[in-house]
Amino acid sequence: MTLFPRLCILMLAAVALFPALSATAQTPAAGEIPPIDQFDGIEAAVDRTWGQDIEAMLAATPDLQPEDFEQGVTVLNAMVVRFDTDENAQAAYATFQSGIGSQLLQLAQGGTPTVTDEPVSDLGDVASAVTLVTTTPESETHLRFVLAREGRYLFLTYALAETGDEAAIADDLANYVVSEGEEQGDEAIFVADGASTGGLWGFMPPNDADLLGDLVPISDATLYPAP
């Protein structure tokens, strides 16, 4: 299996990893992250995914083959959740923190997995990171999650990339949504292809933000309340 298809599999697995992203998921077992509608005090949750501009790449090179795709950062994602109180946001943070690492091993995709976790300083009220490194004889992939809480907001970012330095874009995105983003009023306009505005979407960086590089918005999702 070439690196690009394997990265795509990892990306799809990462999206499906957390039942918290689905309000209709089954009741979780102990240690798992529950469906997002089961968190006490949740008020709203949104999610945006960025990726490589494959459409533009194919337009420039119609016969582009999978092995010819740019590697680097394959996917970048941010989730923002608002709770009614700081305490409920902190309880959700603790649930995510305890559940992410134990579930990441499911994404090893036949390679040798290594999961590490670490505190993150100077980010919100509390923050931490978990990284899955999957190594095969041919390649290495890095899937990095950064989790933070600021007041009654919970933030989760992740990046899938070839190297640890590239996967650190998850930290850059976390710093943006926590430190520079802000809720923009009560009205949100949802656009599924990554152009939603207002409300919690105000936390997301603009398309021309330096941290995004050549990545473009791929999709938006309203996680709560369920559409």
pLDDT at 124: 97
pLDDT at 74: 86
Give the Cα separation of 150 and 126 in Å (integer): 7
pLDDT at 146: 97
Residue range 86-130, pLDDT digits in tens: 999 999 999 999 888 777 776 666 778 888 999 999 999 999 999
DSSP letters for 180-227: T---EEEEEE--TTTT-EEEGGGGSPPTT-GGGTT-EEEEEEEEES--
3-class SS of residue 53: coil
Give the Cα separation of 227 and 225 in Å (integer): 6
pLDDT at 23: 44
The distance of Cα 57 from the centroid of its chain, to the nearest Å, equals 23
CA distances from 182 to 5, 28, 198 (A): 36, 31, 10
3-class SS of residue 124: coil
Give pLDDT tens digits along the chain (227 positions): 333 344 443 444 444 444 444 444 444 454 678 899 999 999 999 999 998 865 655 555 566 555 555 568 889 999 999 999 999 999 999 999 988 877 777 666 677 888 899 999 999 999 999 999 988 887 788 999 999 999 999 999 999 898 999 999 999 999 999 999 999 998 999 999 999 999 999 999 999 999 999 899 999 999 999 87
pLDDT at 186: 86
Ordered by start, the domain boundaries in the chain are 3-18+42-58+72-224
74-86 in b/e form (b: 16+ CB < 10 A) is: bbbbbbbbbbeee
pLDDT at 12: 44
